[in-house]
Amino acid sequence: MAYAALSSLMQTLQHLLQANSPLNSCASCIQQQHVESSYQSLCDLQVFLEDTTNEANDIENLNVLEKKIRDVVYKAEDRVDSSLRSIILADIEDDREKACKFFNEELQQVEIEFASLRKEVMVIELNKRGSKSTELAKTSSSISTEETTFVGMKDDYEAILNCLNAQTKELIVISLVGMGGIGKTTLARKVFDNSIIRDRYDKHAWVTISEQYNKRQMLLEVASSITGINNQEMSNDELMVIVYRGLKGRRFLIVIDDLWNTEAWDQMRRIFQNDNNKSRIILTTRLKDVADYASCRDFPPRDVSFLSLDDSWKLFTERLLIKDPCPPQLEEIGKHIVRKCQGLPLSIVVVAGILGKMDPTHDNWKKVEGNLNSFFGTVSEQCQVILSLSYSYLPHYLKSCFLYVGGFPEDMEIVISKLIRLWIAEQFVNSRSDKSLEVVAKEYLQDLIDRSLILVGTRKANGSMKTCKIHDLLRHLCIREAQIENCLQVINYNVHNSKEDINYQRRVMLLLNIDMRHVYLPEHGSGITNTTRSFVVMRNPNEVRVMCPITSCFKLLKVLDVYSIDYDFSRVIPQLVHLIYVAANIKEAPSVARLWNLQTIILDTLAGWIYLPLEIWTMSNVRHLEIGRAIVMANPVEAESHNSIGEQPESLYLNNLQTLSLDSSSFLAEILKRTPNVDKLKIRAVNLHNEWSSLLDCLILLQRLEKLSIRAIAENGPLILPSAFCAPNLKKLRLDWTNLAWEDMVVLANLPNLEVLKTEGAFNGTKWILNEHVVFQKLKYLRFELEDLESWEASSDNFLVLEQLILIDINELDEIPESIGEIATLKLIQIENCSSTTITSATKIQEEQESLGNYELQIRIIDLAFTGTDWDLNEDVVFQKLKYLRIKRADDLEMWEAASDSFPMLEQLVLQHLEELEDI
């Protein structure tokens, strides 16, 4: 990982060379000429790596040279960071002078080593060297791997449908078996997402098991999918009862993805009862014995087949060329390449990802073919070669980013915002004058997606990517390569770890589904003290939290993510002077005066109120600041006064701050005035100090603000949103308990870029009337929760591009405006715990749209919460497709009148807790 090592040390030396660096106090005693010389040597080495390409006959020599560069730079960084830490922590002048002298001696030695290394690099003659500038500038459209890999699976797909449609009423288990990457999950997903198939079942759930089976996680996933309950406090037995009751008597379709052993199946099988109602389970596994064990006698496992050469070629060209035909001069060599993939879809899309980043020339394709021709073996071995090749062909700046993703737990949906922050903190992302680091990191991620190395996960309400994930074969590749490169050590749960697993590792990721007794905790003074730069804990959210004393051994950490551990890190943090990223729990405010490089701060309190120190306002590098409840941000006015020299106090601004999450305070306005470039803002306990008006005045100043969340105190009187309020770049807005008038919606409609609006108890009043002049130009997602709305008048012209309407706990609403259904872009109306009239109106909207040929609009009803004593369904109210109806918590329902014509397809009726109902 030579390139990443160079980038990390270069950024440290850059800070020493900057005139306005936070390290100015250190720079005064440092011999700048040695810093400049070392920095220039690193620049030359970086350019060398950028200009080299992995030609077939150069790979071995180049790898040896890269390893040497990496090792030399790692040792140099250890010496520089360690001696720099001594200078920063020195409190006595004599100690400081000694530390400076030692630092300069170390720097001179580093300079000599770099000069020697640079000479060695310059005299090496590779057989071929080429620039990747053309390749890096080339872009390709991102196509969903799940969509493209469905090529050639028609027979398998129809076979599954035949099993689903079988006349037998018994519960059937349909097993799909095949090697990783062959398309089992894609095939199951295609069936599971088919709306016609889903309509036949009352309950649906998708559960991913993976190699490390976790019974509790499985129970939580099933309970959440089946009942909507995701209660972390419930025991396993309680969850099993919930799931059992949720499925009892219902026809269900369950997908169990990636099952690895029969023991896991035995534990799961008990909760899926056979009620002889044509319920079905689709199971995917790589192991034939597991598939045989789980399958029903009359429905043997389905071996998912490899693609034919024709289908392989079709998949390859669709992935690589989209709709364009393959150039004639490349077709022959292209088919040779595809043949080497041996019909494995994952290999095909990965190879297409490699070629998609190259100029489509015969020489480039011939180079890839040559690397493939150098190996012959089984399909599994060949797949590993292809995947390794995809890593080899990555640009240097992407390799470390890709390997880092492998450190996240298997099958985890990785939150993109967190991944990007970590990449930046790990110093994998190169700065560009015209783009922020976050934008560059997103481009890196998109590049990996385009190469089919990273998959898109879930999306946000506005359609942008929220999470990503990685295929487990690629994850195994990452872990293997990361260990070889000394880039990352993943310490897994249920694995005993030796000293060698942690000592001298650059980055450590601890996957906490774990007994900490199985993890080696190094003693003070061990090698880990001077080598480890990152310690990240990924805890299974269902496991008991543990303390982690291991961090006291890390002296040169740049990344510390221990947010999932209930342990007080307030005394550890101040000693880690090189920290860039910290996420932790604290019991008292840590001193941050010496943490010159902090960019991301995520803190929560374990006990009582905590006031952040005033020096937080001198930390000019901070980009993301998220502090939990009961942690109070420091007053900038006090900080200015405390920091002043002479009569005129120095103005303090956090101009680099992009993300801010905090509790409100009496000086909130001052905080916002001094964070002018925030684009994501979350404020809790608003108006506790009567600061509503000053807050709105300051929001107008935040010209880059794109995402805003305001949670007011519940005791608010009516608040006012002035017509002058303006946030020109605001895209996502959440309002909780603001007690606004519905008429203030006019102000929100005037926000020119608003795409997402979520509210919870935010509006006061029972009637919302939108006239023709109120138009939400870009609103795609609208969610109301716990509003007192009774009457809503609106037309399709008020919402030009609305795609999703979500109503939760709106118990008094008469009906959804009928013309809402006429919005051409509307895809979903979801109703949860709302009045019966709301549900009826939604059903009418769907029926009206279907009569006009619009079958795209989905109505999703989650639970029914009726209000009032009478429910009278006249002959015009018909639930056309309703098969399952459950009414609960309607304590005051006394009379229910309905005819069989109201529910023509109803199969099951469940009534719970209806104490006053006289009869059905």
Q: 510 - beta bridge partners?
A: 491, 537
Which two tokens mark 429?
């992302």
Torsions phi, psi for 512 (to 5 deg): -90, 85
Secondary element (H or E) of residue 7: helix 2-17
Per-residue pLDDT at 760 exceeds 60: yes
User: For residues 468 and 416, is the Cβ–Cβ distance under 8 A?
Assistant: yes
Q: Encoding tokens for residue 685?
A: 């306990």
For residue 797, CA distances in Å to 84, 731, 823 come to 63, 20, 8
The predicted pLDDT at position 242 comes to 83
Task: Output the pLDDT for position 517.
Answer: 41
| In the predicted structure, residue 541 carries a pLDDT above the cut 60 | no
Question: Phi, psi (5° rounding) for residue 259?
Answer: -85, 135
Please tell me the distance from the alpha carbon of residue 524 to that of residue 366, in angstroms, as a whole number. Answer: 53
Integer-rounded Cα Rg, in Å, for the chain is: 30
Across residues 324-328, what is the average pLDDT? Answer: 82
The DSSP code for 140 is: -
- Highest average pLDDT, of 116-120, 305-309, 488-492, 821-825, comes from 821-825
Q: Which CATH architecture has domain 395-487?
A: Orthogonal Bundle (1.10)
* pLDDT at residue 914, rounded to an integer: 66
The amino acid occupying position 299 is F
Helix axes 396-405, 2-17, angle to 10 degrees: 110
The answer to whether residue 528 scores a pLDDT higher than 60 is: no
Cβ atoms of 486 and 505 closer than 8 Å:
yes
CB atoms within 10 A of CB 40: 15
Strand pairing of 828-832 and 203-208?
unpaired
One-letter amino acid identity for 271? I
Nearest partner of 322 among 442, 469, 181, 144, judged by Cα: 144
pLDDT at 540: 54
Average pLDDT over residues 500-505: 60
State whether residue 642 is helix, strand or coil: helix
Q: Which CATH number is associated with domain 1-127? A: 1.20.5.4130
Can you read off the two tokens belonging to residue 805?
A: 């309407």
Locus of tokens 């960071």: 81
Name residues whose C-beta falls within 8 Å of residue 804's C-beta, 6 or more positions apart in sequence. 461, 780, 781, 782, 783, 826, 827, 828, 829, 830
Q: Delimit the domains of the chain by residue range.
A: 1-127, 153-303, 307-393, 395-487, 876-916
The letter for the amino acid at 379 is V
Tell me how far apart the alpha carbons of residues 370 and 364 are, in angstroms, rounded to a whole number. Answer: 10
The pLDDT of residue 148 is 40
Tell me which of 269-283, 642-656, 857-871 is least confident.
Answer: 857-871
Give the 3-state secondary structure percentages of the chain, helix then strand then coil, rounded to 5: 40, 15, 45
Q: Which two tokens stand for residue 797?
A: 């012209």
pLDDT of residue 515 exceeding 60, the answer is no
Is residue 699 predicted with pLDDT exceeding 50? yes
The correct answer on CATH 1.10.8 for the domain covering 307-393 is: yes
Asked if residue 457 lies in contact with residue 465, where contact means CB atoms within 8 angstroms, the answer is yes
Which pLDDT belongs to residue 346?
82
Residue 27's pLDDT band (cuts 50, 70, 90) = low
Residue whose entry in the numeric block shows the structure tokens 């935010």: 762
pLDDT at site 142: 35
Candidates 447, 357, 71; CA nearest to 63 is 71
Map tokens 């309400």 to a residue. 461
512: β partners: 539
Please tell me the distance from the alpha carbon of residue 215 to that of residue 270, in angstroms, as a whole number: 12
What's CA 728's distance to the chain center, in Å?
A: 27
Q: Is the pLDDT of residue 20 over 80?
A: no
Contact between 337 and 362 (Cβ < 8 Å) = no
Q: What is the pLDDT of residues 487-499, one digit of tens each?
A: 888 886 544 444 4
Q: Which residue is listed with tokens 């001094």? A: 674
- Banded pLDDT at 136 (limits 50, 70, 90): very low
Express each pLDDT in 97-107 by its tens digit. 888 889 888 88
More confident residue, 98 or 523: 98
The segment with the largest mean pLDDT, out of 456-465, 741-750, 895-904, is 741-750
- The identity of residue 633, as a single letter, is M
pLDDT at 218: 79
Higher pLDDT: 233 or 39? It is 39
38 against 864, higher pLDDT? 38
Mean pLDDT, residues 577-583 taken together: 95
Share of the chain above pLDDT 90, in %: 34
Would you state the pLDDT for residue 860?
87
Average pLDDT, the chain: 83
Is there a contact between 768 and 790 (Cβ–Cβ < 8 Å)? no
Asked whether residue 918 carries a pLDDT value surpassing 90, the answer given is no
Least confident of 352-366, 375-389, 738-752: 375-389
Contact partners, residue 848, CB within 8 Å, separation at least 6: 818, 821
Euclidean distance between CA atoms 345 and 342, whole angstroms = 9
The structure tokens listed for 357 are 């980043």
Spatial contact of 520 and 539, defined as CB atoms under 8 Å apart:
no
Query: Using 50, 70 and 90 to split pLDDT, how confident is the model at 138?
Result: very low
C-alpha 678/C-alpha 177 separation (Å) is: 50
Q: Give me the mean pLDDT over the 739-758 stretch.
A: 95
What's the angle, vertex CA 590, arms to CA 588 and CA 592, rounded to 5?
Answer: 160
pLDDT grade, residue 158 (50/70/90)?
A: confident
pLDDT at 750: 94
In angstroms, the CA 746 to CA 788 distance is: 18
* Residue 463 reports pLDDT greater than 80: yes
Question: Average of pLDDT values for 887-901?
Answer: 68
Question: Which range scores top for mean pLDDT: 299-308, 421-430, 688-697, 848-857?
Answer: 421-430
Q: How confident is the model at residue 378 (pLDDT cuts 50, 70, 90)?
A: low
Alpha carbon dihedral 878, 881, 883, 888, in 10-degree steps, equals -50
Interatomic CA distance for residues 636 and 652, integer angstroms: 7
Q: Residue 382 has what pLDDT?
A: 64
| Pairing of β 767-769 and β 791-793 | parallel
- From the CB of residue 872, how many other CB atoms can be counted at a distance below 10 Å? 10
Residue 717 has pLDDT above 90, yes or no: no
Q: Which CATH architecture has domain 153-303?
A: 3-Layer(aba) Sandwich (3.40)
> Hey, what are 733's tokens?
């807005």
Confidence of residue 483 (pLDDT cuts 50, 70, 90): confident
* DSSP assigned state of 115: H
Q: Average pLDDT, stretch 185-200?
A: 87
Higher pLDDT, 15 or 662: 662
Quick one: DSSP state of residue 467? E
Helix (H) or strand (E) holding 791: strand 791-793
Q: What is the rounded average pLDDT of the residues 628-642?
A: 91
Asked if 559 and 426 touch (Cβ cutoff 8 Å), the reply is: yes
CA distances for 609 relative to 66, 633, 641, 687, angstroms = 50, 11, 23, 19
Q: Phi/psi of residue 172, each to 5°?
A: -115, 135
Please give the single-letter amino acid code of residue 892.
D
**Lowest-pLDDT choice from 211-220, 267-276, 731-740, 769-778:** 211-220
Task: Assign 387 a pLDDT band (cuts: 50, 70, 90).
Answer: confident
Per-residue pLDDT reduced to its tens digit, 843-857: 999 999 989 888 889
Assign residue 699 a region: left if phi > 0, alpha if psi is -120 to 50, beta otherwise? Answer: alpha
* 43-72 confidence digits (pLDDT tens): 888 888 877 654 444 566 677 888 888 989
At 381, is the pLDDT very low, low, confident or very high (cuts 50, 70, 90)? low
